[in-house]
Amino acid sequence: MAGVDVEALQRWLRGFAASVAEQKDALTALDAAVGDADHGANMHRGMTAVLDSLGTPAADPAALLKQTGMVLIRSVGGASGPLYGTLFLRMAGATGGEGALEPETFAKALRAGVEGVVARGKAELGDKTMIDALAPALDALDASLGAGEPLPAALRAASTAADAGRDATTPMTARKGRASYLGERSAGHQDPGATSAALLVAAAATALGDQGTG
């Protein structure tokens, strides 16, 4: 395949939206333990708006990613909208304007997106946030591509790492976000942001893996 094009990215977004819709109540239940009990509903609303926006043609990956980021910022409440919106906006800026992204370019764009989330949320690994799923996913993706693996295999490794990072948030004490207000009481609960972030990576592994990119 030539690379990750607009059609492939749309599959990714549709897959993520479907996962969020399926897990909406579970995400909200996780958030009820440590936050505002609205993460599932907020993400579902945002991704429904993203699906609606896909009817507007995008010229290239950068345009689609930028459009997605803006939609999420406008439509998702709480911290999730700005954080996920920033991820896609930063990804858009790192595509180099290519019509189809090579595996290394996609990985570079995803890392730029996550770095944007870190900068905006002031969170780092171990703070019990979405970064605990995304950071290990990036490292696994880069390591797999560096070892010569095709993008589908590298994304599967990234998804496995994201799931492990998500699970690792359960015993953590939150240091960022609303969950941090609970102090030690935040321990013992899986982080909802890390959970939705793991769904994002899993959706990429499925959508881009089906394409056979790489």
Angle between helices 151-168 and 131-146 (to 10 degrees): 150
Q: How high is the pLDDT of residue 212?
A: 43
Distance CA 18, CA 160 (A): 19
Q: How high is the pLDDT of residue 2?
A: 55
Residue 164 domain-assigned (yes or no): yes
Task: Quickly tell me which residue has 């880069």 as its tokens.
Answer: 142
Distance CA 161, CA 158 (A): 5
Residue 63 domain-assigned (yes or no): yes
For residue 180, give the CATH number of its domain.
1.25.40.340
Per residue in 162-188, pLDDT tens?
999 999 998 776 655 555 444 454 566
Alpha helices in 54-102 (DSSP H): 61-75, 80-93
Range of the domain at 84: 6-211
Weakly modelled stretches of the chain, pLDDT under 70: 1-2, 34-36, 173-188, 210-214
Q: How many domains does the chain have?
A: 1
Per residue in 55-66, pLDDT tens?
988 999 999 999
Token digits of residue 53 = 């926006």
Helix (H, G, I), strand (E, B) or coil at 135: helix
Residue 1 domain-assigned (yes or no): no
Residue 144 domain-assigned (yes or no): yes
User: Taking a C-beta distance cutoff of 8 angstroms, is the pair 43, 80 a contact?
Assistant: yes
Please state, rounded to an integer, the average pLDDT across all residues of the chain. 89
Give me the phi and psi of 201, to 5 degrees please.
-70, -40
In angstroms, the Cα distances linking 168 to 35, 52, 176 are: 18, 34, 16
Residues 6+ apart with CB under 8 A from 202: 19, 159, 162, 163
Token digits of residue 180 = 């941090």
User: Which pTM was predicted?
Assistant: 0.92
